[in-house]
Each structure stands twice: as C-alpha cells, then as structure tokens.
C-alpha cells in the first residue's frame, strides 16, 4: 500500500488510506487522507467500492476479497503481471462463469494505471461480454 500511495503523490494525485483499525497512525506516511474504519478486514469492501477502478499488485486473501468485491460492483480491475499472488493467478481471467468483467493485465504499475484510467474514461464499462451486459 505504501508504494501505491507514494506513486499517487509523485504523480500529483491524492493518496487516501483506508485502514482496518480505528487508529489513524496505521496509515503509511504518504497518505494525504486517512479513513480509519474500525471495521477490521471488512474494510476491504470499503476499499473496493470507494475507487473507480482497482489495480492489483501481488496480493493474498485480502486482495482477492477486494478484487472480488470490485468485480461484483462491475469496476475495472487491472493486475500488474509478474508481481505474484492474486495479480498473476487471476490476471487475464474472469472470476466466475458469468464472465462479466475480465481482470486485465498490465505489464508494469504504470501500464496498469494507464489501462485502468482508459477503462474509467470509457464509462467504467471495460472489457465485458456484450451478452452479459445486454442481460443486465
């Protein structure tokens, strides 16, 4: 999370940290805004629902939960290829048989952000199957 916050600041953006505890100090030093949820790992849903897209770097069970919540909310999800964990296991795949949202792969963090911004600019529709969109 610290690397993502640092990257946001260096790119002129705003770094928002959504932490699981009620302790503001749990956020990293690059966060401009801290949301201390006190929700424990349920905060993963707050993370997924608060952004316009999700970039997945490596990750374990918590990252998988966030990505699945973003999928359910039909948000663009882009993984950084070669970072291990959830990013490599799910990159280029759909989460379930509905195939409503593909986890796109980026070749680097910069490429992943570029792809996420592109999907957002398209109205968040992203690479979804036309059949699934027509049913919805």
| Block residue for tokens 């918590």 | 62
pLDDT digits (tens, 9 = 90+) for 44-84: 999 999 989 999 999 999 999 999 999 999 999 999 999 99
Alpha-carbon gap, residue 76 to 121, rounded angstroms: 11
> What global pTM score does this model have?
0.83
CATH number, domain 52-135: 3.40.50.450
pLDDT band, residue 1 (cuts 50/70/90): confident
Question: What local confidence, expressed as pLDDT, does residue 129 receive?
Answer: 42
Torsion of CA 19, 89, 5, 122, to 10 degrees: -110
Domain boundaries, the chain: 1-38, 52-135
């Amino acid at each position: 999370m610290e690397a993502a916050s640092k990257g946001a600041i260096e790119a002129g953006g705003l770094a928002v940290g959504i932490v699981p505890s009620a302790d503001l100090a749990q956020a990293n030093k690059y966060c401009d805004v801290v949301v201390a949820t006190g929700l424990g790992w349920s905060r993963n849903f707050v993370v997924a629902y608060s952004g316009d897209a999700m970039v997945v770097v490596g990750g374990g069970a918590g990252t998988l939960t966030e990505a699945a919540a973003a999928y359910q909310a039909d948000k663009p999800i882009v993984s950084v290829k070669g970072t291990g964990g959830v990013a490599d296991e799910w990159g280029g795949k759909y989460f379930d048989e509905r195939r409503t949202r593909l986890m796109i792969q980026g070749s680097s963090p910069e490429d992943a952000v570029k792809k996420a911004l592109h999907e957002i600019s398209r109205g968040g529709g992203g690479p979804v199957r036309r059949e699934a969109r027509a049913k919805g």
